[in-house]
Amino acid sequence: MRLKNKIALVTGAAAGIGRGVALAMTKEGAKVACCDIDKDGLRETKSIIDKAGGSCFTDAFDNRNSEAIKSFVETATSELGQIDILVNVAGIMPAGANEDIEESTVDDILSINLKSAIMFSKYAIPYIRKSGGGSIIHMASVTGHNGHPGVVVYGATKGALMALARGQAMELAKDKIRVNTVSPGTVDSPMLHRFLEEEATDKEKARAGFDKIHPLGKIASVEEVASVVTFLASNDAANVTGEDIRCDGGYCIQGFQPKE
């Protein structure tokens, strides 16, 4: 119960890592406020948490709308009493070459992956400060560390989230608000499943290929990523701020020697 009596806001919580984070934090004693654009997915997340005996407030809206973000933060605080933790997970990953990408798609990636994290932080920080401090975690990615063709704008937003966290960590240290990022490698999540459906000619072979390129021999589960986020939100990470923790099975640091 490392998060007992804590209140956590989790974005992108209708499925995948966002839902996994909400469930993991509930198991550690936190009350959670979850948001996403997917109403049905949010309803399912809430049902799972309710059945587990947790407390969950949800609201479905488009996080490109800053006024909706502000309203959610204010309502969640009114419903749950405070905010101690903010976890920005919401993101999209359209695939395609830079030269082929539409300007509207660029705007969506930047707004959903990066701008929303800035705006959620803007509206949540005063409440976290009022609680005496807390933790903000942004979901980054190995694509923010390594070059990945086909998802360059997505990767740019993930690198930007790491820079955002470092700046916020310094700006908010005096308020005892810690800010960090988590960078997963490939994760067995709905985002991967959609990618395989849209981009792979042989989905089974492509899925096995993702396992193979991770030195530990497998991609991450949602629960493995969520456990790192929960650690950063807890007092176990009381002296950790401005850091990025890679949860990537060794993907980013692997090297290759010639076979012959």
Residue numbers annotated as active site: 154
Give the DSSP letter of residue 187.
Answer: B
Amino acid at 186: T
Tokens linked to 162: 């790491």
C-alpha closest to that of 126 among 179, 180, 77: 77
Cβ–Cβ < 8 Å for 31, 56: yes
Across the chain, where does the E strand assignment appear? 7-11, 31-36, 56-60, 85-88, 134-139, 177-184, 244-247
C-alpha closest to that of 231 among 29, 2, 31: 2
Distance CA 147, CA 164 (A): 19
Region for 198 from its dihedrals, namely left if φ exceeds 0, alpha if ψ lies in -120 to 50, beta otherwise? alpha
Q: Edge-to-edge strand order for the sheet containing 134-139?
A: 56-60, 31-36, 7-11, 85-88, 134-139, 177-184, 244-247
Cβ–Cβ < 8 Å for 236, 2: yes
Which residues are CB-contacts of 203 (< 8 A; sequence separation ≥ 6)?
196, 197
